[in-house]
Structure 1
């Protein structure tokens, strides 16, 4: 298992669609193909006493706090728009850049808060998570109250500390699409070894970049990676904070996964690139494993990935 790219929750919503948001991984058919409606139809959602009663505080795009009467026991899905943005409205098929924070309805405790990429209208994702990004302008914060039977077949999820039969409160911040700027200063030195050998990435002795930046080392001439594509590649991940390589595919088989099933900064770096491209990208915590160092093994760390794109194919 590729540690950086296929962690189980709650260490990463790098695999948000597969590990936490995807219904097929919690009692549904794990072989079922995702389905996204062609028409941008909106879900039938309305607010209610429970969702309106949740008080949400905190900066947009960061882990918020939510205050509500406990135990909260929901019987139906309710969604309240806390703050309405003024950007483009999400539609079915969009890869939505979001921060998802989940609270236990029984205790009010935060279960996790992580960046995530959610494909709007993807019927393989639990409705409770789709509701947060459904037909809302970018810049919107929503709060969704979901009954226990709407998630994980009511059995809970021990990975995030959700007990069977618990309702949840989900706060979602819908952010602007993630785009890397060109990386021109303090770019690590990269040396590729012989075939089958791992490359060497030497980080400069500087503070980690605050911004999401990317440098194309060698541009390929193959097919262009589209959002949601299944990409085959080699990669090496280094923590700027520790200087250590924490995961890589070199020395084994190439990795293969969908662009929307990895950490936001990694998936976004692939979209729009051509097969054959070699690139290096620096990913701040807010686009990796989150800013909370206690919430994930790589939480709060700036990550650097060296990537070689070998192939790409449309999602099934």
Structure 2
């Protein structure tokens, strides 16, 4: 499968250095009404401390950040401080957050990498309780800038300093929500062996996820997190070329609905086994824009035809 987001700085990059048991250092508190509304994300955020408070960050929210501190910066636990509190919506459990991230070496102060600044936010990711990212983002509001110290438990380095700008907060049920097909929606024809050919109109691609059910199955409803088995073909709206196809490989693919890009997830969840659907998705619901992702499909509107063969509940 080729559907996993591969942003230059993605959820995997953000959580790669999360400490095992790190959340044990979070402050114990009785959640307030605001915290409860945010799914207790406020309560699980990393605590503040003297080390993180010693870091100075320059630059406007949304623009490239520079962190200044006395190196080497020594710490053994994660600390977090909200440097700028935005006036937008607070992150709730499951919300999709677009963000910018700058990473600095705690030993030298050197900038290691950054992405998402200057109007090209990194592809949005869901912030959920227990994900690891919740420890850093907490229930920060849109427009906030957060600085975090991230220890390295391997002993290979002194750790890192993250500067995170929360650029957008979208409720889960609104992120990449499905719209009715437009007049220029792609058409699909199947050959005698059931292999599809997708034809793209000479028209502007849709700005939202559009979905059409070609055939409705009578099997079980696909639920979030199910492991599904599907046949699929994916093409680029820009030129109609096939970039991936299980039909061409001659073998269906099996994966979790939570392990694919948002537009593809929307095409699966809520459908019934036995259904065949066509979905078109803009870059934000696929592999991101070219300014925020290094994936080969960045910036592309993608179209898939999907035959849902089976679905099974994920083991708890």
The answer to whether the superposition gives a TM-score over 0.5 is yes
1:236 counterpart = 2:233:
yes
Distance in 2, matches of 1:244 and 1:27, equals 43
- Map 1:91-240 → 2, pairs under 5 A: 91=93, 94=94, 96-105=95-104, 106-107=110-111, 109-111=113-115, 114-118=122-126, 120-122=128-130, 125=131, 127=132, 129-135=133-139, 141=144, 143-149=146-152, 153=154, 165-172=159-166, 173-177=168-172, 178=175, 179-195=177-193, 198-240=195-237
Partner SS, residue 286 of structure 1: helix
Distance in 2, matches of 1:297 and 1:216, equals 28
Distance in 2, matches of 1:154 and 1:213, equals 48
Q: Deviations over 1:248-307 (max 9, x none)?
A: 211332222222221122112222222222111111111211112563211111111111
Distance in 2, matches of 1:185 and 1:12, equals 36
Asked if the contact 1:235/1:305 (under 8 Å) is kept, the reply is yes
Asked if the contact 2:61/2:145 (under 8 Å) is kept, the reply is no
Match of 1:291 in 2: 289
- Rg larger in structure: 2
Distance in 1, matches of 2:87 and 2:222, equals 32
- Alpha-carbon RMSD: 3.5
Partner SS, residue 265 of structure 1: helix
Classify 1:26/1:90 alpha carbon distance in 2 versus 1 (closer, same or farther; 3 Å): closer
Asked if the contact 1:236/1:306 (under 8 Å) is kept, the reply is yes
Partner SS, residue 134 of structure 2: helix
Distance in 1, matches of 2:53 and 2:286, equals 35
1:307 counterpart = 2:306:
yes
Structure 2: which 5+ runs fail to align? 21-35, 105-109
Match of 1:260 in 2: 258
Match of 2:46 in 1: 45
Partner SS, residue 149 of structure 1: coil
Distance in 1, matches of 2:235 and 2:229, equals 20
Distance in 2, matches of 1:310 and 1:246, equals 21
Shift of 1:243: 2.0
Classify 1:56/1:284 alpha carbon distance in 2 versus 1 (closer, same or farther; 3 Å): farther
Length, aligned pairs only: 273
Shift of 1:239: 1.0
Distance in 2, matches of 1:133 and 1:146, equals 13
Q: TM-score scaled to structure 2, two decimals?
A: 0.71
